[in-house]
Amino acid sequence: MSEMIATRDAYGKTLLELGRENPRVVVLDADLSGSTKTGLFAKEFPDRFFNAGIAEANMVGMAAGLASGGMIPFASTFAVFAAGRAFEQIRQSLAYPKMNVKIVATHGGITVGEDGGSHQSVEDLAIMRALPNMTVLCPADGPETSAAIRAAAALQGPVYVRLGRAKVPVIFPGGCDFTVGRGATLREGSDLTFITTGLMSAMALDAARILEAEKISARVIHLGSIKPLDVELVLRAARETGAVVTAEEHSVIGGLGGAVCEALAEGFPVPVERVGLRDVFGQSGTGEELLAHYGLTPAHLVEAAERVLKRK
Amino acid sequence: MLTETTVRELEETALHLRVDILKMLNAAQSGHTGGSLSAIDAMTALYFHKMRHDPSNPRWEDRDRFILSKGHAAPALYACLARAGYFPSEDLKTLRRLGSHLQGHPDMNKTPGVEVCTGSLGQGISQAVGIALASRLAGKGARIYTLLGDGELQEGQVWEAAMAAAHYKLDNLCAILDQNGLQIDGEVAKVMNVGPVGPKFLAFNWHVLEVDGHDLQAICRALDDAEKTDGRPTLIIARTVKGKGVPFFEHKASYHGVPPSDDELGRALEHLGHS
């Protein structure tokens, strides 16, 4: 059994390390520092932490101003408020001017759980991906989150990082090199390819093991960088395996599945099955119940693989 | 020092800037006339008297900053920047043209001297708050100025920013309200009354001053007063006239987003003594 770490916890720790390494790193939050884990930074660096209160629009604007003044701001809140409520501030004050601000949105997807559909962002990747100049990252586990946060800090320009509330299995136990725009082949395979992001990548590995027993060879590619997309890796997988299943804790519209389909349609069309929320909002329940209810489990990935193989 | 000569020179500069604004808007045949003319006196006081800045080094670290939160008054900003020497005055006639560095609304990545991108109302003041925080963190003595429209106060984000500026005791921040009383759909008081503005900002724990926004001496004194204020941001309510300086544009909401025609330009320049 893998170790379980919530990506938000890895974020909190990494942010604290960055704070110790670089005095230009500043952090903003909108009254959720306990949940987003920016509170760790706030405790050690109270002068470089700015609580905007429950005012996400102004938080993003302040972050832009801090970046304009030479700081490297990380601004955090839940994904539903970051990409939703503060969307136009992210567009005008960050993306349009290419401002060096990192929006790290926690509580993405349905594994937010009991708070229900109002708090479960299923559209943030699509929204952020549509913005010119925006880099969109969605790490799979704790170690990759640490690497992604460091990569975001090193990158000059706006970055949106989507993290989760729930503990998820570690799939990069030795840590990982994170390069923006590069995917990672987690497992080789020749009959089809799972192309996944966030917590679905661990599930794709489980699904590939189940398929192996059925003598089906599934490749698993994890894309921690949704934008820029590793188009070369995606097209190679399509050429070599001839079928693709995408999976994400997000709507099937406009996120990873959308991005992969765009790349394949233009570069090398093959049958695709998209696993994700089928154009619906979430609801209250435990994270595990919701993943099962909305079809985001290894068993569902196996079914999607069997469907796509029939279309080859 | 604010001598009578200085005031006279500033008034002369403001007159030239009005001419520049009208000419560039006429050349573009698109853009915001009324709100540029109402704001220009306060901006004249900032760019040609109050602010420490260096047009030959737009990114000078210790400079004071000006954020045009009402970004649609870009012609007023461009007129100031050109006259201050950030770029050649000839560029002004490329306003709003394809490929020009003078965008319809201010763009920090295109125009030398523009600090941030504005145009979507309410966002400039938040950025000014962030810049004021950064300036304090960096231990710089820079002052941060932002100019708002009174219609802009209808944006909730302005009040979020006002709350934050007072919370963080940003006495290096000074907002100037270009209170011309008009917005696109008509009188601010009738579209969505934002008043009483002074008491609202006082209640938000700001230092509030009120001046005739076309009296350069009064504006400069208010800016000095703001600089001496400890522990609180300052709001200068500048009572202005939309379209100020050109009688047939004054007090008219209909000239919010309309440039002067050739005929109107001719008559306006004649009135300003620049025909």
Question: Per the structure block, which two tokens stand in for A145?
Answer: 């989150």
Q: Using an 8 Å Cβ cutoff, are B221 and B234 in contact?
A: no
Task: Assess contact for B35 and B242: CB atoms under 8 A.
Answer: yes
Residue A179 belongs to some domain of the structure: no
Distances (CA, A) of B206 to A59, A303, B125, B157, B171: 19, 62, 14, 16, 9
Secondary structure of residue A156 in the 3-state scheme: coil
Residues A57 and A117 in one domain: yes
pLDDT digits (tens, 9 = 90+) for B41-54: 999 999 999 999 99
Question: Domain containing A119: what range?
Answer: 4-169
The answer on A127 and A20 residing in a single domain is yes
Does ipTM top 0.85? yes
Q: Which chain B residues contact residue A92 at CB under 8 A? A: 117, 119-120, 123
Residues A133 and A280 in one domain: no
In the block, which residue shows the tokens 């309309």? B258
Can you tell me the distance from the alpha carbon of B193 to that of B202, in angstroms, rounded to the nearest whole number? 17
Residues A144, A232 within the same domain? no
A80 and A218 inside one domain:
no
* Assigned domain for A177 exists: no
The pLDDT of residue B256 is: 83
Q: Are strands A218-222 and A184-187 parallel, antiparallel or unpaired?
A: antiparallel
CB contact under 8 A, A63 and B132: no
List of chain B residues with pLDDT < 50: none
Listed by start position, the domains of chain B span 4-271
pLDDT in tens, A172-201: 999 999 999 999 999 999 999 999 999 999
* Residue A174, domain member (yes or no): no
Q: Are A83 and A205 part of one and the same domain?
A: no
To the question of pTM greater than 0.95 for the whole model, the response is yes
Q: What's the pLDDT score for residue A2?
A: 84
pLDDT tens string B8-60: 999 999 999 999 999 999 999 999 999 999 999 999 999 999 999 999 999 99
Question: Bigger pLDDT: A251 or B140?
Answer: A251
State pLDDT tens for residues A94-133: 999 999 999 999 999 999 999 999 999 999 999 999 999 9
Q: Give the number of domains in chain A.
A: 2
Residues 6+ apart with CB under 8 A from A4: A167, A168, A169, A170
Asked whether residue A96 falls in the same domain as residue A190, the answer is: no
For the stretch B176-186, pLDDT in tens is: 999 999 999 99
Q: Which fold has domain B4-271?
A: Rossmann fold (3.40.50)
Q: How many angstroms separate the CA atoms of B144 and B216, rounded?
A: 19
What average pLDDT does this structure show over A25-54? 98
Any domain includes A248: yes
Q: What is the pLDDT of residue A10?
A: 98
Is A178 a domain residue? no
**B130 and A CB contact within 8 Å:** yes
Query: Which residues of chain A have a CB within 8 Å of the CB of B115?
Result: 68
Cross-strand partners of A50 = A28
Mean pLDDT of chain B: 97
The 3-class SS string of chain B reads: CCCHHHHHHHHHHHHHHHHHHHHHHHHHCCCCCHHHHHHHHHHHHHHHHHCCCCCCCCCCCCCCEEEECCHHHHHHHHHHHHHHCCCCHHHHHHCCCCCCCCCCCCCCCCCCCCCCCCCCCCHHHHHHHHHHHHHHHCCCCCCEEEEEECHHHHCHHHHHHHHHHHHCCCCCEEEEEEECCEECCEEHHHHHCCCCHHHHHHHCCCEEEEEECCCHHHHHHHHHHHHCCCCCCEEEEEECCCCCCCHHHCCCHHHCCCCCCHHHHHHHHHHCCCC
Asked whether residue A303 falls in the same domain as residue A214, the answer is: yes
Contact B130 A65 (CB under 8 A): yes
pLDDT for position B253: 85
What residues contact B108, with CB distance under 8 A and at least 6 apart?
A: A68, A97, B114, B115, B116, B117
Tell me if chain B has a CB within 8 Å of the CB of A94: no
How far is B226 from chain A, CA to nearest CA, in Å?
Answer: 21
Separate counts of helices (H) and strands (E) for chain A: 13, 14
| In-domain check, residue A212 | yes
Among A169, A198, A222, residue at a domain's last position = A169
Q: Within this chain, do residues A193 and A155 fall inside the same structural domain, yes or no?
A: no
- The per-residue pLDDT for A1 is 63
Do A19 and A144 reside in the same domain of the chain? yes
For residue A138, tell me if it sits in a domain.
Answer: yes
In a domain, A72, yes or no: yes
> Do residue A20 and residue A149 come from a single domain?
yes
Domain boundary among A169, A196, A223: A169
